[in-house]
Amino acid sequence: MTNTCICVFTSSSNSLSQEYYDIARELGVLIAQNGFDIVYGGSRRGMMYACASAVKKFGGKVLGIMPKKIADFGCANPEDCDEFYLTEGMRERKALLDEKSDAVIALPGGYGTLEEISEMIVQKQLGYNNKPIVILNTNNFYKGVLEFFDNLIAQNFAHEGSKKLYYVASTPKEAIEYIKTYKAEEINSKYAIK
């Protein structure tokens, strides 16, 4: 893949309100229309599939990465991917998602999404990446998480500057605009140590 590749973390559930799939599709359309590609969890389910299939439909490239154990459940989507990788486990999957991506967007999701976006923020905090990281706060979905982040800062478990490590967007368009205009700045080591 030669274009900027956006890693999208989100839900693989087929039991959500329709508006969440619509937002995922809208993001996928914007990713492709802006000349970006997508790397994602490789599923044919949920918001994951809604986003990736929209990227494909509108001309973007799709890279899927899935652990063998999850693929054995029958939810893998290699046929819609330009590149598809099977990994031994979740840790290898996350490492490859990181390696193949130039930017990150977390849509609403479950425990896995929360873990993945948290890891990317920590990687940036420690200087292992300097990618744009976006939390797409559809319907104020991440309100509690963002309040928790504020509490970390208020109680000195994190530095005030750590808020610069990620951007909170309300709409897919805002998320894409942030990535398009992102300028990497040197990560100050004080973000990592309070």
pLDDT in tens, 123-179: 999 999 999 999 999 999 999 999 999 999 999 999 989 999 999 999 999 999 999
Look up the pTM and report it: 0.94
Q: At 40, which amino acid appears?
A: Y
Phi/psi of residue 166, nearest 5 degrees: -145, 160
SS3 2: coil
Query: Per DSSP, what are the bridge partners of residue 13?
Result: none
d(CA 144, CA 91): 26
pLDDT in tens, 62-106: 999 999 999 999 999 999 999 999 999 999 999 999 999 999 999
Burial of 90 (C-beta count, 10 Å sphere; 0-12/13-18/19+):
middle
Long-range contacts of 121-126 (CB under 8 A, 24+ apart): 121/162, 121/165, 121/166, 123/98, 124/165, 124/166, 124/187, 125/162, 125/165, 125/187, 125/191, 125/192, 126/192
d(CA 183, CA 132): 8
CATH match for 5-180 among 3.30.499.10, 3.40.50.450, 3.30.565.10, 3.40.190.10: 3.40.50.450
